[in-house]
Homo-oligomer: A and B are copies of this chain.
């Protein structure tokens, strides 16, 4: 088991190449936000944009477009019923995040199936929130598990792995992960990352972060890091560590840390760890 530290940030957050354009830093497509949970995908999108993703498109219930653009004009918006446009947008994606606020309805299921079936061998896929619940219910195959990341909290992992909370030991988790062949970010007060190489442990984190939307924000940061940095496993580790680091720092002056306040700090924190 490896313990994450600021070194993981320094290794990953490289100086951007001068001769670059927005495409250089990745095209991310974020899918989620039903009638009830629109805020979740908005928080993911804010995290992805503030983490430096080149281009972010959000596929969501049309009712969420106005608040998305009121907060984030940097994002593009696609109606989650517009299958033709969804197809086109998915094809151009480098990273796809599905799940934040997605819900368990029929549209949500169809979107998940479509994403799972269309993932190419160049695309990374992050499966979060209700998409994990949906995935756990059915026996969906993964096109490209080596480039797939699940980000469950403990109950979602229970459904996905079949492991009751008490049996979620590192060994059992790693065995369950091997069946999936994907990477797993198991969120808790001490988040761990299970990959084909090893297990990573976040030594920081705080109960001040235990508030709705924190996971959606983490999923967005992961998306942004996978989108723009070439070493993907290292990028995943850096994203998870940075999320906890900012949360812990903010908790020194704030009793509860709002997810959106973590996103706002991303450009400043990333600069501090930029490799020179």
CB atoms of B73 and A43 under 8 A apart? yes
Copies of this chain assembled into the complex: 4
Distance A19 CA – B37 CA, assembled complex (angstroms): 26
CA distance A17 to B75 in the complex (A): 37
Do A256 and B267 have beta carbons less than 8 Å apart? Answer: yes
In-complex Cβ contact of A56 among B71, B77, B212 (8 A):
B212
Interface residues of A, dominant DSSP: mixed
Verify if A79 is at the interface (C-beta below 8 Å from B): yes
CB distance from A99 to the nearest CB of B (A): 15
Interface residues of A in 232-275 (CB under 8 A from B): 251-260, 266-268, 270-271, 274
* Set of chain B residues within 8 Å of A51, measured between Cβ atoms: 256
- Cα A25 to Cα B50 in complex, Å, equals 28
Who on chain B is nearest to A260 by CB?
Answer: B73
Q: Are A189 and B19 in contact (CB under 8 A)?
A: yes
A257 CB contacts on chain B under 8 angstroms = 267
The answer for the CA separation of A260 and B264 in the assembled complex, in Å, is: 13
Which of B18, B49, B53 is close to A189, meaning CB atoms less than 8 Å apart? B18
Q: How far is the CB of A41 from chain B (nearest CB, A)?
A: 9
Contact of A70 among B55, B67, B207 (CB under 8 A): B67
Nearest-CB residue, chain B, relative to A273: B255
B212 and A40 within 8 A (CB): no
A window 184-212: CB within 8 A of B: 188-189, 206-208, 210-212
Q: Let me know if A181 is at the binding interface, CB within 8 A.
A: no
With A16-B210, A77-B38, A212-B54: A270-B258 Cβ-Cβ less than 8 Å: no
Interface centre among A153, A189, A259 (most CB of B within 10 A): A189
A63 is an interface residue with CB less than 8 A from chain B = yes
Answer yes or no: A158 CB below 8 A from chain B CBs. Answer: no
A129 adjacent to chain B (CB < 8 Å): no
Asked if B211 and A52 make an inter-chain contact with CB atoms under 8 angstroms apart, the answer reads yes
Known contacts being A188-B21, A255-B13, is A39 close to B74, with CB within 8 Å?
Answer: yes
Give the residue among A16, A51, A188, A266 with the most B Cβ atoms within 10 A. A16
Extra pairs beyond A25-B211, A39-B73, A39-B75 (17, CB < 8 Å) = A18-B189, A21-B153, A22-B211, A24-B207, A25-B256, A38-B69, A39-B74, A42-B73, A51-B256, A54-B211, A54-B212, A63-B65, A73-B259, A73-B260, A255-B268, A256-B267, A256-B270
